[in-house]
Amino acid sequence: MIAKNRVAFGARLADQGVVQDLIARSRIEIDQARLYVQRTAWLIDQHGAKGARSEIGGIKVAAPNVATTVIARTIEVFGGAGLSDDTPLAYFYAWARVLRIADGPDAVHRRTIARLELNGKTLRGGAGPAALASAVPPGRPA
């Protein structure tokens, strides 16, 4: 990890609070996206893709956004080297950005999610406590 080896302003980057904040926020956001994907996969298994439409749309927005944000933070830690041909970060960023468009723009997915919520056609929105209880994975508190 470059943050452990690179020194700036007399200290390792890993010891600087700003860099630690970037790392912590990235870890949290990656885990949130991963859990969202796992929950959606479980919902698809339980209710089919149509029953998890809102969550599928949410993943199509959340995962590429997390990827671009985390890659941008990594580029920031690498400094100018992050944009050079010495690392694949610029390439990764470009493709993560493509993912935000390739399967439909974020705005289209957000509009679909909002419509499903407003019409009570999600497992959460307007469906009542029974549907919510059935959407909780076994062994997990509601």
Q: What is the pLDDT of residue 22?
A: 96
| Residue 6, pLDDT score | 78
pTM, two decimal places: 0.79
Question: What is d(CA 139, CA 142) in angstroms, rounded to the nearest whole number?
Answer: 9
Domain limits of the chain?
2-134
The alpha carbon torsion through 62, 112, 45, 138 (nearest 10 deg) reads 70
Q: Which CATH class is domain 2-134?
A: mainly alpha
In the chain (142 residues long), the average pLDDT of successive 10-residue segments reads: 78 88 97 97 94 95 97 92 91 94 92 92 55 59 58
pLDDT of residue 126: 45
